[in-house]
Structure 1
Amino acid sequence: MNVVSRTFSHFRFVITLASVTWLSACANLPYYAQAVDGHLEVLRRAQPISTVIENPDTDQNLKNSLTKIVQLRKFASRELKLPDNRSYTSYANLERPFVVWNVFASPELSLQLKEWCFLKVGCVNYRGFFSQAKAERYAEELRNEGYDVHVGGVRAYSTLGWFSDPVLNTFISYSEINLARLIFHELAHQVVYVPGDTVFNESFATAVEQEGIKRWFAHNGTVLQQSALNARRERETIFTDLIFKHRKHLQDLLQSDLSEAEKRAGKARIFDELRTEFADLKTNDPELSLYDSWFSQPLNNALLATVSIYSQLVPAFQAILVQSDQDMNKFFDAVTKISKLPKEERNFVLQKATEDHRRWTMVER
């Protein structure tokens, strides 16, 4: 699983009961209608995991994966203090590879992702569709307006506790580590969610996910699995550092006084350099081919900008966890308090935590 697409590509697509309540007041009725219809179809297909496991006709591999989900779900509540509710206690086969498709857009000469605002959940940096065809049509409209656009298939999404989110066929075949990451990440969104702050929400959930995996394998993993986990984290760090490095180069270019033509030429050069450096890194570590699928996509501002959504503030939350003595309840209380601060003050606190994390990391090295 890579740190950007998360392998399971579970970019957030949120639906709330408020959306249903206020449908008649929405100017974009067709969009909300497809969202509600799509989610209700997911719920309609869901059945208790226990029922699926007890069914003699259920494939044994599916039974094994669902049994692992049950174990992960209990661990999440017991050891990580994540919500103990009915989320991920049912299973739905959607008979398709993705549950929704999210559209990301960024101006040609800016890394600022376009925002869409929704009832209750605030503004987010994507627009989700339960139909790939509708997502692609909308993406084409944005391209015609001059945006850099990325369409990502989504294997899981969170309703923030409004509904009991089911396990889906779109991710049930994942490895143990990927199932753990997904379950821990999605449940974290039910603990803290700040309307209109995608980076905060996703970075927080990623930090919980990473801590959860570490504790899961400490309790249940072998020495070999621990070694594999450490190697995977090292590769994720290499990948994110590479992306952030070139994203910074691109940001400096786009904020310069150069002409638009010069910026376009420089942008193309930076993307070429990114691909070249990745190829060089992969020569030294063939396992980095894990990220080939990411590089196989057209590189543009929208794709590059999505990286920071999941990673930008993770060091800050890791520092807060350390300051909370690794106690998940204290950690959640601290993050909840920070989430209620005005955005400028919230960002200041998180920046300070990020600096603390960097200092600790340098000392450890």
Structure 2
Amino acid sequence: MSKGGQTVKRVLRMFAAVIMAALATGCTSISYYAQSMEGHVQIMAARENVGKLIHDPSTPEALRARLTSANAIRRFATDELALPDNSSYRSYVDIRRDDVTWAVFAAPQFSLTPRTWCFPVFGCVPYRGYFSRKSATETAAELHGQGLDVYVTGITAYSTLGWFSDPLLSTMLRQDDTYLASLIFHELAHQKIYVNGDSAFNEAFAVAVETSGVRKWLRATGNRAGLRRYELDRRRKADFLGLVSKTRDELRQVYESSGNAEQMAAAKAAAIDRLRTRYRQMRDKRWVGYRGYDAWFGSQINNAKLAATAVYGEQVPAFLRLFDLCSGDYPRFYASVRRIGDLPATSRAQALKTAATCH
């Protein structure tokens, strides 16, 4: 049997087990798993070995150069960041679209707590992912019809947490090598440590590995200009998250007030207007006109969008502080993160925030 055929059979067996578990728990519809299975099988069956593509004379030169960089980044991930040494990101798929999946987030009209969906193997997460933009949009419309705030965003890469050999995707190559390195380090971090049901912990950990890893990689390759650009991007991202955090704090006060629905809706709109005003002021003065976040602020802002942003950002500083406490030693850092991840969910975030040593 061909390697592609073996992959398809393995995927089908895995999804069959997941669907049976879903039937037992009643957690999600069969149609949702069917679209996930179809989308993932198509990608896995289309994989091509990166090494062969690099040496194939018919491979376009631009693609060969990007895959050569990806190979070096992949080796760096294992050799220098102690990330999994497996077959992930050693194959390539041109998916011929701008995003591999689309994530749908939802939150109540007057709450910043996102709705969650639970899945066998992966636990509970604050979004549903679709391989079809149309399906994602239809789900968003259905959730909106239930009175929820919704947010749909395209996804560049996803991780199967080591269940399969995740490939490089054409979406991962659409920016420079720094962006590619950040994606590879981030997704491999999910394979290293993943705590079921705690997306904020998982994503912040992966961002911390991504951030420290990219810095180390840029230094190792002598790319000083790239490192300066990356650090500037990180400062802007911190500024952005600070604006979002301030607005989230304002909205919490609104939602915890004794106001009626009409009053809360007006206060919510005013808080979001202030967020946009603060952004424009920061962009034009502190950022000297840099417009990289204009698209985010130019589209609808609601509780679902603010919740999605918080998932990927709020705990990152605590993880980076722990990394420093571990003296930049990745195995020690992973061991410390794993111990915190084993704590009860109610005490996990506080333990991370107050960690004084690298255990």
Amino acid at match of 1:55: D
Distance 1:326 1:150 in 2: 36
- Figure out how many residues of one structure are paired with residues of the other and give that number: 341
Q: Secondary structure at the match of 1:185?
A: helix
Instruction: Give the 5 Å matches for 1:66-105.
Output: 66-105=67-106
Amino acid at match of 2:232: A
Instruction: Tell me whether 1:343 sits opposite 2:339 in the alignment.
Output: no
1:98 and 1:153 in contact (8 A); partners too? yes
Distance 1:19 1:340 in 2: 27
User: What TM-score do you get using the length of structure 2 for normalisation?
Assistant: 0.91
Instruction: Give the 5 Å matches for 1:1-365.
Output: 18-27=14-23, 28-284=29-285, 285-286=287-288, 288-353=290-355
Deviations 1:98-137 (A, max 9, x none): 1111100000110110000000211000001111111111
1:113 and 1:125 in contact (8 A); partners too? yes
Q: Secondary structure at the match of 1:170?
A: helix
Distance 1:147 1:213 in 2: 37
Structure 1 residue 319: deviation in Å? 2.0
2:195 and 2:201 in contact (8 A); partners too? yes
Distance 1:103 1:182 in 2: 20
Residue equivalent to 2:8? none
Distance 1:221 1:314 in 2: 26
User: What TM-score do you get using the length of structure 1 for normalisation?
Assistant: 0.90
Distance 2:289 2:184 in 1: 25
Distance 2:94 2:60 in 1: 13
Q: Secondary structure at the match of 1:88?
A: coil
Amino acid at match of 2:342: K
Uncovered stretches (5+) of structure 2, i.e. residues with no partner: 1-10, 24-28
Cα 1:17/1:123, change in 2 over 3 Å: farther
Q: Secondary structure at the match of 2:208?
A: helix
Deviations 1:338-362 (A, max 9, x none): 1111112322311313xx69xxxxx
Over the aligned positions, Cα root-mean-square deviation in angstroms equals 1.7
Deviations 1:300-321 (A, max 9, x none): 1100111111111112211221
Structure 1 residue 18: deviation in Å? 4.7
Amino acid at match of 2:311: I
Structure 1 residue 247: deviation in Å? 1.3
2:18 and 2:121 in contact (8 A); partners too? no
Deviations 1:26-81 (A, max 9, x none): 34111111111110100011110112222222221111111110010000101100
Q: Secondary structure at the match of 1:195?
A: coil
2:47 and 2:167 in contact (8 A); partners too? yes
Distance 1:216 1:295 in 2: 31
1:104 and 1:151 in contact (8 A); partners too? yes
Distance 2:13 2:181 in 1: 27
1:18 and 1:119 in contact (8 A); partners too? no
Structure number with greater CO (CA < 8 Å, separation at least 6) is 1
Amino acid at match of 2:94: N
Amino acid at match of 1:106: A
Structure 1 residue 296: deviation in Å? 2.0
Deviations 1:219-244 (A, max 9, x none): 11333222222222221111111111
Structure 1 residue 16: deviation in Å? 10
Deviations 1:285-333 (A, max 9, x none): 2453111121122111100111111111112211221221211000001
